Structure 1
Amino acid sequence: MRTVELGRTGEQVSHLALGAMLMGTSTGEAESFEILDRYTTAGGNFVDTANCYAWWPRPGDTGGESESLLGRWFARTGKRDEIFLATKGSGWVGNAEEVRAGKADLWSSFEGAGGDTLRRALDDSLRRLGTDHVDLYYVHVDDLSTPLEETLSALASIVAAGKARYIGWSNVRTWRLERIRQLALANGWPVPVAVQQQHSYLRADPYSDRDFSIVSAEQLDYVRRHDDLSLVAYSPMLKGLYDVPAKRAAEYGRGSYGGPENDARLAAVDKLAAELGATPGQVVLAWLLAQTAPCLIPLIGPRLLSHYEAAIPALDLELTPEHLEFLDNA
């Protein structure tokens, strides 16, 4: 598995990151451990989780299950020092049952990025993970109601205390990224080294109500011009949209990714996959891995071992310049 530098930190992380969102809930412990074992045996070292993973799969799930499972895996394998570990705060939902039942709004239920909130959240994460630090700590959902000065000052204290080595942001607008950067530089606080956003081969509707979470052309340009900031692309497979025909017509996919341009892009992926003897999802993942402007890190979150096994061949799928041009021009 190839590695890339995270921002300009000097840290070499796997070009393919592994998301543990559903580990400990939808993905049982034995299967989660098998995925983690296979990923690390293949040379993978970039593992991603969050304190709120995952409160939604089953009644009684509250969040923290993924971090707790990773803590047990670290204890079993002794591999904590081999892993570049990322977790997140600000997205914890304390009223999960009410949100699940539709009695409370999700977006107003997030714990937010207040200073005390983040410090407490990370301490709780470290306890579940069984470690004294994480390598990368994200603000999971950008919090417009808390002054950025408060959030950045708290993150600076977290880094100074050695509880996180680097910081990042997720689900954030481009103008906010620039404001974060300027405030951090002006005050001598750590500058984010990673932005984690949803990004795939299909192009999202720029007027979608999820535009703050999905990479836009403007945001790609911003990351391209700031090479100290890596783009970590979550949901690159759009929950199986490319490989499962029924999902192409589902609200999740068509709600943000409909329209004639994406019909053409899906047709191009299908055509190239047939020519290469690959799946459409593998072609998309190979396309993402081939991007250089900016270089980005796809983050897969397999629910099943079979999903992981279906994705890994993309690492060996070499797309020629002609293949890339065909996909880019669809």
Structure 2
Amino acid sequence: MHTIPLGQTEVSVSQLALGCMLMGTLTNEADSFAMLDRYLAAGGTFLDTADCYAWWPGPEYTGGESESVLGRWFARTGRRDEVFLATKGSAWVADPEAARAGRLSDDEKYAGTAGDTLRHALDGSLRRLGVDHVDLYYVHVDDPRTPLEETLEALAGLVAAGKTRYLGWSNVPTWRLERIRQLCDRFGWPAPVALQQEHTYLRRHPGSGNLSIVDDQQLAYLRSHKDLTLVAYSPILKGVYDDVHKQRDLAQMRSYHGADTDARLATVAKVATELGISGSLLVLAWMLHQRSPRRVALIGPRTPAQYDELVAALDVALDDAVLDVLDAAGA
């Protein structure tokens, strides 16, 4: 398991992170524990969750299930100090039933980033996890309703209190990220060291308004700001590279549809066939080979079998010729 530096901190994290989003809901506790055990046995250290995971799978769920499962695993194994633990706040949903029914806008749905909201959110996460601190705390969804100064001052207080070591941001456009960094520099607040965004081999089409997806501008920004590490969620887009029906119907694909995506999907299919591996495995290996900027690939398997399939990407070596073909593809 390779590691990469977390920003310009003294910490290195596993380049393949284990997303725990479905643990405690669609993934039962036994399978969750099995994947956690296997991940650590493979040398993995980077676990990712959030307080809102996962309210959406069904009416019996309210959020917090993933953190609670991790808390029970820590209690059973005593392995808290062996992992780099990340969780997130600001996207807690107080009314999951209304959210599942689609009756709420994002502004109405999410808790937001007010100072007291974040303080209470992290305290709740620590209780569910059964720990006294996390290693990385993200703002999960950006909140333009709350002044950035209030949010950043509250986050600085959480670091000062020892409740989190580092800070991160997720689902945020580049201009907003630069504003965050400027305010941190001006007031001496701790700046984010991790940026978690949707990122895959496909490129967002120019007409998409989905600012949660890394675009060329954001990649260029990250190349110039090495104190930020990109953590890529949805690197295989729910298996879209191996399923023509998902390529057509998956809701996430709305941000990618177009000639460029068609060309890239065709290239993945051709190269994967030549190498005798799945398209998902090829794309995940491609991401792990990226150097400018380096990035963490965040996988979120639902079953131990899916975990085993995805972790095999660590053993896929892509030579420069293959990488050149993949990188050159597009319309």
Q: After the TM superposition, which residues 310-325 of structure 1 pair with which residues of structure 2 at under 5 Å, given as runs?
A: 310-325=309-324
Task: State the shift of 1:12 in Å.
Answer: 1.3
Counterpart CA distance in 1 for 2:108 and 2:322 is: 44
The residue that corresponds to 1:249 in the other structure is 248
Task: State the shift of 1:104 in Å.
Answer: 2.3
Instruction: Report the RMSD for the aligned CA atoms in angstroms.
Output: 0.9
Deviation string, structure 1 residues 9-46 (Cα, Å, up to 9, x no partner): 11111010010001000111011111111111000000
Deviation string, structure 1 residues 196-221 (Cα, Å, up to 9, x no partner): 000000111232232x1000110011
2:149 is equivalent to residue 141 of structure 1: no
2:156 is equivalent to residue 195 of structure 1: no
Q: Which amino acid aligns with 2:28?
A: G
Task: State the shift of 1:108 in Å.
Answer: 2.5
User: Unaligned 5+ residue runs, structure 1?
Assistant: none
The residue that corresponds to 1:231 in the other structure is 230
Q: After the TM superposition, which residues 1-330 of structure 1 pair with which residues of structure 2 at under 5 Å, given as runs?
A: 1-210=1-210, 212-330=211-329
Percent of aligned pairs sharing the same letter: 61
Counterpart CA distance in 1 for 2:195 and 2:108 is: 22
Q: Which amino acid aligns with 1:311?
A: L
Counterpart CA distance in 2 for 1:142 and 1:52 is: 15
Task: State the shift of 1:251 in Å.
Answer: 3.6
Counterpart CA distance in 2 for 1:96 and 1:107 is: 14
Q: Which amino acid aligns with 2:311?
A: I
3-state SS, counterpart of residue 85 of structure 1: strand
- Does the aligned pair in 2 maintain the 1:99–1:106 contact within 8 Å? no
Moved more, 4-13 or 98-107: 98-107
Counterpart CA distance in 2 for 1:235 and 1:107 is: 23
3-state SS, counterpart of residue 190 of structure 1: coil
Task: State the shift of 1:107 in Å.
Answer: 4.2
3-state SS, counterpart of residue 292 of structure 1: coil
Deviation string, structure 1 residues 268-288 (Cα, Å, up to 9, x no partner): 111111111111111100110
3-state SS, counterpart of residue 231 of structure 1: strand
Counterpart CA distance in 2 for 1:170 and 1:139 is: 6
- Does the aligned pair in 2 maintain the 1:140–1:171 contact within 8 Å? yes
Task: State the shift of 1:109 in Å.
Answer: 1.2
Counterpart CA distance in 2 for 1:91 and 1:165 is: 20
- Does the aligned pair in 2 maintain the 1:247–1:253 contact within 8 Å? no
Moved more, 136-145 or 257-266: 257-266
Counterpart CA distance in 2 for 1:87 and 1:102 is: 25
Deviation string, structure 1 residues 124-178 (Cα, Å, up to 9, x no partner): 0000000000000000001111010000000000000000000000000100100
- Does the aligned pair in 2 maintain the 1:23–1:69 contact within 8 Å? yes
Question: For this pair of structures, how many residues does the alignment match?
Answer: 329
Query: What is the TM-score normalised by the length of structure 2?
Result: 0.98
3-state SS, counterpart of residue 179 of structure 2: helix
Counterpart CA distance in 1 for 2:201 and 2:168 is: 23
Moved more, 307-316 or 244-253: 244-253
Q: Which amino acid aligns with 1:209?
A: G
Deviant stretches of 4+, over 4 Å? none
User: Unaligned 5+ residue runs, structure 2?
Assistant: none
3-state SS, counterpart of residue 241 of structure 1: helix
Q: Which amino acid aligns with 1:16?
A: L
Counterpart CA distance in 2 for 1:227 and 1:103 is: 41
Counterpart CA distance in 1 for 2:107 and 2:18 is: 26
Q: Which amino acid aligns with 1:194?
A: A
Q: Which amino acid aligns with 1:72?
A: R
Counterpart CA distance in 2 for 1:150 and 1:105 is: 23
3-state SS, counterpart of residue 9 of structure 2: coil
Query: What is the TM-score normalised by the length of structure 1?
Result: 0.98
Counterpart CA distance in 1 for 2:206 and 2:304 is: 34
Moved more, 38-47 or 242-251: 242-251
Task: State the shift of 1:106 in Å.
Answer: 3.8
3-state SS, counterpart of residue 104 of structure 1: coil
Counterpart CA distance in 1 for 2:141 and 2:294 is: 23
Task: State the shift of 1:253 in Å.
Answer: 4.3
